A = this chain, B = another copy of it.
Amino acid sequence: MSTTRKRRICFPITSRAYYGRSQLLIRKLHHHPGIDLELMLGGSILLDKYSRHVADDIKEGGFTISASLFNVIEGGNHVAMAKTACLTALEVTNTLYTADPDVVVVCGDRFEQLAIAMAAAYLNKTIAHIEGGDLTGSIDESVRHAITKLAHIHFVTNDDAKRRVLTMGENPAYVFNTGSLDVERASCVDADITTEELSGYGVGHDVDVTTPFLTVIQHPVTTESSNRQHLETTFRALATFDLPIVWFWPNPDAGTGEMAETLRHFREHHEAATERMRFITNVPADQFIALLKRTACVVGNSSAGIKECSFLGTPVVDVGGRQQGRLSAENVIRTGYDVDGVRAAVKQQLAHGRYAPSHLYFKPNASQSMVDVLTSVELYTQKRFHEVP
C-alpha cells in the first residue's frame, strides 16, 4: 500500500516505565518522514515526585505533546485504580477526538492502557498493541488479553505469545513477533552508574555499587489482599543477608498505599536492618539498566526481572503470583511468599552468579520493525474473529 498523506500516530504514555521502554520506538517514529507523532502524557508520569527526569527528557526530545492529563486519583486502592482508569479514558477521548490519529499505540498490561484502548476503539481508531499474548498474574493478566481483543495490530515479544494471540482469534497478517522493546533498549545501554550517582536518588543509606548488593522491586498484586504481608516476607528474608539493598518503591497500583506504609514503617522501626538500605522511587532508564547489570540479584516481581534481566544475565528471584505463567529464561528462580523460600533462592542465585544472555525476548531492531509495520501495514477498524483452522 502506498500512503499519500502522513500517518498520524498517537502514543499515550502513562508511566515513567513505559516511556523508558518505548524511547527507541518513540524517537524513530518522531523522526520518520511519513509519521506525525503526538504524545499524550497522563498518570504518574506527570506527578513531580516520580518522574521529573522523564518529563524533562520528553521536553528535550522536541515531541508534540497533545495533552497533559492529571488523572491519578489518590487512595492506592482498588476504587482509586478503577476511577483513575475511567477518568483517563474520559480525558483521552477528548484528546483523541481533537488529534484524530490514524493509529493509537497501546502498551502492555497496565490498567489505564485498557481504558485508553477502549476509548480509542469507540472512536473507531486502529489500535496497535505492544506485548500482547504474555502470561502474568494480577489484574494484568486480564487487562493484557482484553486489550488484544480490542487491538488491530499486535507486536508480540516471543513465539509463545504469538501463538496465544493467534489462538484468541487474531488475524495472522497482523501479528508480528518483533521482540521486546525493553530488551532491545537494555541491549543498547552502555551507561554505568556510580555510588555517588545512586546516592543522589531516593532516601536512606548509601549503597556501594562496586561491591555485591541486592535490588528489590516488589509491586502490589492487585488481585491479592495480603500485599503488606508479602512485602514483609521479602523484608524479613533479605534482612538476614549481610548485603546492602537498593529497594524500589512500589508502582501506584491498588495496594500501593499499604505497601508504601509498610516500607515507611520498616524505615522508622527497623533502623538496624534498614541501615544497609536505600529506598528509591526512580532512577533514569539508562542508569536503571546499569544497576541491573551491577546487582548481584534482583528480588521481587518486576517484569524487568523476567525480560531485561534475561538478556543481561542478572540472577532473579521472582516472588509470588505477579509474573505467574510468564515465559522466563534460566536466570529466574521462582518462589512463593515464604521467608525460607525467598532466602534459599537468593542464596542459590548468589552462589550461581551471572547467567549467559538469553534471546528469549530479544530480537535486534525491535523498534525499527515496529516502525516498518506502522508505516506500511494497511489500516482497518472492523475486527473479525479469525478462526484457527
Q: With CB as the reference atom, state the residue of chain B lying closest to A382.
A: B223
Asked if A118 is at the interface (CB within 8 A of a chain B CB), the reply is yes
Q: Which residues of B contact A49 (CB under 8 A)?
A: 257, 261
Asked if A25 is at the interface (CB within 8 A of a chain B CB), the reply is no
Q: With CB as the reference atom, state the residue of chain B lying closest to A163.
A: B387
Taken together as a complex, chains A and B put the C-alpha atoms of A145 and B139 apart, in Å, by: 17
CB distance from A105 to the nearest CB of B (A): 17
- CB of B90 within 8 A of CB of A80, answer no
Taken together as a complex, chains A and B put the C-alpha atoms of A268 and B200 apart, in Å, by: 12
Taken together as a complex, chains A and B put the C-alpha atoms of A123 and B387 apart, in Å, by: 32
Taken together as a complex, chains A and B put the C-alpha atoms of A224 and B261 apart, in Å, by: 32
- CB of B71 within 8 A of CB of A47, answer no
Copies per complex of this chain? 4
Given contacts A98-B68, A141-B385, A168-B169, contact A82 B149 (CB under 8 A): no
1/0 contact string of A85-128 vs chain B (CB within 8 Å): 11101110110011000000000000100110011011110000
Give the residue of B67, B146, B223, B324 whose beta carbon is less than 8 angstroms from that of A149: B146
Asked if A329 is at the interface (CB within 8 A of a chain B CB), the reply is no
CB distance from A296 to the nearest CB of B (A): 28
Q: Which residues of B contact A169 (CB under 8 A)?
A: 145, 164, 167-168
List A141-195 residues whose CB lies under 8 Å from chain B.
Answer: 141-143, 145-150, 164, 167-169
Asked if A37 is at the interface (CB within 8 A of a chain B CB), the reply is no
Give the residue of B94, B146, B167, B268 whose beta carbon is less than 8 angstroms from that of A203: B268
Asked if A34 is at the interface (CB within 8 A of a chain B CB), the reply is no
- CB of A89 within 8 A of CB of B93, answer no
CB distance from A202 to the nearest CB of B (A): 10
CB distance from A71 to the nearest CB of B (A): 7
1/0 contact string of A310-337 vs chain B (CB within 8 Å): 0000000000010011000000000000
- CB of B82 within 8 A of CB of A89, answer yes
- CB of B87 within 8 A of CB of A87, answer yes
Q: List 10 A-B contacts (CB under 8 A).
A: A49-B261, A67-B98, A68-B98, A82-B119, A85-B119, A121-B143, A145-B149, A167-B169, A223-B381, A223-B382
